[in-house]
Amino acid sequence: MGRHTTGIITTGQACRIELKFLLKHGYIQKDCRIPRTLSWTDGSSMKIYSVYTNSEKYIKLTYTLTERSTGKKFEYDYEIDFVEIPSNLGKGNVLFFVCPESYDRCRILYRCYGYHKFKSRKAYKTRIYYNLQIQSKHFYNNERYFKTEEKLNKLESERGSYYYKGRPTKRLKRKMKLLQDLEILDSIRFQYFSEYLKSQFS
């Protein structure tokens, strides 16, 4: 059994703001000031105003929270900066939020554990777990296997060569590493499955 009953929160359960999502859906655009509304599947929403110019880079968040135990309402209106960092691949820049509490760079901001404002995962004293970290060993290894398989399928669907001037490319090395990881994980999955069957019929 996983650790859901301990009151911990996973990254998937927390209210979050992802830079990748904001960029993909036009919430943040170069040389623009954009007012939008950001909504979540639980029905909550807030106003988000982004500024992305040479001199200013930030998002402004405006929302109201109601405390369940008291019914008291809290109004929030604050800014969170983001910065441009040169890509490790040498192709343009990558954007990062600057956590308003820890000042660490991050790509995702979270609001959870009763805290009313958004901040980085590392800024929380109580750990926010990834889904894989709360799985039992059996499901954990299954999840790792399928995640690795997904990465391999994505790699094979992308354009690119495995050889350049007769020499293996980094793409091929990555593919071979993923294939090796799949083989190891499959062996581990089989081992746990065998042990489970033995425990059921012994």
Domain ranges of the chain: 7-129, 135-201
CA triplet 47, 52, 57: central angle to 5 degrees?
85
Distance CA 61, CA 78 (A): 6
What is the pLDDT at residue 95? 94
Strand pairing of 128-129 and 9-10? parallel
Which candidate, 1, 19, 15, 4, places its Cα nearest to that of 129?
A: 4
What is the pLDDT at residue 140? 65
How does pLDDT run along the chain (202 residues), one tens digit per residue?
Answer: 233 334 455 545 678 899 999 999 999 999 999 999 998 877 789 999 999 999 999 999 999 988 878 889 999 999 999 999 988 766 788 999 999 999 999 998 988 877 889 998 888 877 766 554 445 555 667 777 778 888 888 888 887 888 888 888 888 898 999 999 888 888 876 776 666 556 655 5
3-class DSSP assignment, residue 132: helix
CB-based contacts of 140, cutoff 8 Å, min separation 6: 132
What is the pLDDT at residue 109? 93
